[in-house]
Amino acid sequence: MGRHNTIAGRKAAQDSKRAASFTKYARAIMIAAKSGGDPDYNPSLRTAIEKAKQAGLPNDNINRAIKKGTGELEGEQLEELRFEGYGAGGVAVIVEALTDNRNRTTSSVSHAFDKFGGNLGTPGCVSYMFDRKGIFVFDKEESEVTEDQLMDVALEAGADDIQEYDDSFEVLCDPSVFDDVAQAIRDAGLETVEAEITMVPSIEATPDESHIKSLQKMLDALEEDDDVQKVYTNSTIDLYE
161-176 residue pLDDT tens: 999 988 899 999 999 9
Q: Note down the domain range covering 42.
A: 7-70
SS3 for 10? Answer: helix
Q: Is residue 102 part of a domain?
A: yes
The verdict on residue 120 lying in a domain is no
Evaluate if residue 106 carries a pLDDT over 80.
yes
Is 197 found in the same domain as 134? Answer: yes
Confirm whether 48 is domain-assigned.
Answer: yes
Report if residue 168 sits inside a domain. yes
Give the residue from 175, 93, 88 showing the smallest Cα distance to 127.
93
Q: Count structural domains, the chain.
A: 3
Q: Is 76 part of any domain? A: no
CA–CA separation, 200 and 129 (whole Å): 9
Please name the helix (run of DSSP H) or strand (run of DSSP E) that holds residue 61, with its range, or none: helix 59-70
Spatial separation of the C-alpha atoms in residues 100 and 74, rounded to whole Å: 14
| Backbone phi, psi, residue 130, to 5° | -125, 150
Cα 215 versus chain centre, distance: 18
Order of strands, sheet of 194-201, starting from the edge strand that comes earlier in the sequence: 161-164, 168-173, 130-139, 194-201
Is residue 192 located within the same domain as residue 174? Answer: yes
Over residues 118-153, the pLDDT tens digits come to 999 999 999 999 999 999 999 888 878 889 999 999
| Segment 3-52, tens digit of pLDDT | 444 455 555 555 555 555 788 889 889 988 988 999 887 877 888 898 88
Give the Cα separation of 29 and 229 in Å (integer).
Answer: 11
Q: Judge if 41 and 58 occupy the same domain.
A: yes
Nearest Cα residue to 80 out of 69, 95, 64, 68: 95
CA–CA distance from 214 to each of 41, 88, 195, 211, 218 (Å)?
A: 42, 6, 29, 5, 6
* CB within 8 Å of 193: residues ≥ 6 apart: 8, 11, 12, 137, 138, 139, 142, 143, 168
**Quick one: pLDDT band at residue 77, thresholds 50, 70, 90?**
confident
CB–CB of 42/69 below 8 Å? no
DSSP string, 148-210: HHHIIIIIHHT--EEEE-SSEEEEEE-GGGHHHHHHHHHHTT---SEEEEEEEESS-B---HH
What is the CATH number for 38? Answer: 1.10.10.200
Q: Give me the CATH number covering residue 220.
A: 3.30.70.980
User: What is the model's pLDDT at position 61?
Assistant: 93
Q: Specify whether 110 is located in the same domain as 166.
A: no
Answer yes or no: pTM beyond 0.85: no
* CA gap 49, 30 in Å, rounded: 10
| Contact call for residues 207 and 235 (beta carbons, < 8 A) | yes
- Within a domain: residue 121? no
Residue 95 lies in a domain: yes
Q: What angle do CA 51, 57, 61 make, to 5 degrees?
A: 115
Q: pLDDT at position 4, please?
A: 44
Q: Which residues contact 141 (CB under 8 A, 6 or more apart)?
A: 167
> How large a percentage of the chain has pLDDT more than 90?
55
